[in-house]
Amino acid sequence: MLQADKQVLLAGVKQNALQLRQKELEFNVERYTNLATQASVVAGFSFESLVELEVPEETHWLLASLYFVFGSAAMALSLYCLVIASFACIYGHRLALQGPHGSLERAVKIMVAHRMHIFSVAGLSLVCLVCAAVLMAWIKMGAAAFVVSIIFVVFALAVAARLNSMLRLFDIPDTQLVTGAVQVNASNMPSAAVDLSHLNPATRRDARKAPSLHPSAAPSPRASGTSKYQPLIEEESGDGEAQKVHHEGHLFKKGEGGFLSFDTARRRYFVLRGSSLFYFKTWEDYGSSGIGAAVNSKEPIDLLRHDALVQNSGNRFDLVPHDPLGRKWELQAVGEEELRDWLTALRSAQLTGEF
């Protein structure tokens, strides 16, 4: 009876956590739907302008060609947004509802990952529409085209300036962004977290057959042959990945810099497994897809080839490679306690290759 009550309790907690994820999914679906509606309006305007405009015979060929190019681009880009956004809404709902365990988190992750791409294409379609309108003024309006062009240019600049201002006002820093993920920190590993939406209702496990989630947990006595009650555990992936996580948490990582990258520090989620250190753009990337979704999954940071050196300010530390030509990783912990936990974990990995 007691075991059944525990399973009911954990199943209820998991259901409530999934409901939060469902709200996040609905939020993203609504944004995609609104974008698809606006894209359909832009596509209609573009199609109408391409069909109805009669270009005078004396119009310069370059002017007419640019008009049709920008009009066609506006129509094609808006139709692209319409199709992709509609596809994402339909198949995102399908994946979340009918997919296997973890599909809801996966659907949210996919929609968030593609959001900026689709919104950027929608913005580009509006730019092409404005350019086509300016060219239409020069084709149809004669002397008034100059004034009309100024009106459209001022309109475009005003919209861009206002959008930029509102984006700053509505901006949410990465450290304060709230998602549908509900995490509970483990008492013996403060920087490690359990996602409630991944809870396994089974809370009892034979220690002789399966190791504990936390390597630091004391083993159950073999002589007595009894099982040990485990803390809340997460459901394992197919390769038993959840059992191999040694240490994890958020760190700020500074980029390499260069022509196509930034040297600003960005918040990333790091996972230490043995002597290999992986990092993800967000915690959700790891929670829904595992180590395979790591940015450096193919070339993890090998701690046996790096030294962890603490800096003088800001909870910073560097992973300095033994090879002079290797990359130095500049990292920063969220607080002093997290810095101590990470240094202990990293140095243990450097000394033994594993915990």
Note the pLDDT tens digit of each residue in 158-196: 988 998 899 888 888 776 777 776 766 655 555 555 666
**Secondary structure (3-state) at 250:** strand
Side chain identity at 205, as an amino acid letter?
R
The Cα-based distances of 350 to 108, 123, 318 in angstroms read 36, 48, 14
Q: Which domains does the chain have, with CATH numbers?
A: 2-172 (no CATH), 243-352 (2.30.29.30)
pLDDT exceeds 70 at position 92: yes
Most confident by average pLDDT, 70-74, 219-223, 320-324: 70-74
Distance CA 319, CA 327 (A): 9
Using an 8 Å Cβ cutoff, are 274 and 282 in contact?
no
Which long-range CB contacts under 8 A does 78-84 form with residues at least 24 apart?
A: 78/39, 78/40, 78/42, 78/43, 78/46, 78/122, 78/125, 79/39, 79/43, 80/121, 80/125, 81/35, 81/36, 81/39, 81/118, 81/121, 81/122, 81/125, 82/36, 82/39, 82/40, 82/43, 84/114, 84/118
Distance CA 131, CA 351 (A): 62
pLDDT exceeds 90 at position 77: yes
pTM, whole model, 2 decimals?
Answer: 0.57
Distance CA 272, CA 349 (A): 9
Residue 264 neighbours by CB distance under 10 Å: 10
Using an 8 Å Cβ cutoff, are 24 and 202 in contact?
no
Encoding tokens for residue 196?
Answer: 């409630």
Instruction: Find the range with the poorest average confidence among 86-90, 101-105, 308-312, 319-323.
Output: 101-105
The per-residue pLDDT of the chain, averaged, comes to 78
Beta bridge partners of 276: 273, 302
